[in-house]
Chains A and B, each alone.
Chain A
Amino acid sequence: EVQLLESGGGLVQPGGSLRLSCAASGFTFSTHGLTWVRQAPGKGLEWVAWISGGDGSANHADSVKGRFTISRDISKNTLYLQMNSLRAEDTAEYYCAKVGWNMGRVFDSWGQGTQVTVSS
Chain B
Amino acid sequence: QTVVTQEPSFSVSPGGTVTLTCGLTSGSVSTGYFPSWYQQTPGQAPRLVIYNTYTRSSGVPDRFSGSILGNKAALTITGAQAEDECDYYCVVYLGRDFNWVFGGGTKLTVL
**CB pair A112 B52 closer than 8 Å:** no
Which partner residue on chain B sits nearest A50 by CB separation? B98
**CB pair A50 B100 closer than 8 Å:** yes
Chain A residues with CB under 8 A of B57: 108
**CB pair A110 B45 closer than 8 Å:** yes
**Closest CB in chain B relative to A79 CB, distance in Å:** 15
**CB pair B36 A45 closer than 8 Å:** no
| Chain A interface residues toward B at CB < 8 A | 35, 37, 44-47, 50, 52, 57, 59, 61-62, 95, 100, 103-108, 110-113
Instruction: Enumerate 23 A-B pairs (CB-CB under 8 Å) in ascending A order.
Output: A35-B100, A44-B103, A45-B40, A47-B91, A47-B99, A47-B100, A50-B98, A59-B97, A59-B98, A59-B99, A61-B99, A95-B45, A95-B46, A103-B52, A103-B55, A104-B34, A104-B53, A104-B55, A105-B36, A106-B36, A107-B46, A107-B91, A110-B48
| Chain B interface residues toward A at CB < 8 A | 1, 34, 36, 38, 40, 45-48, 51-53, 55, 57, 89, 91, 93, 97-105
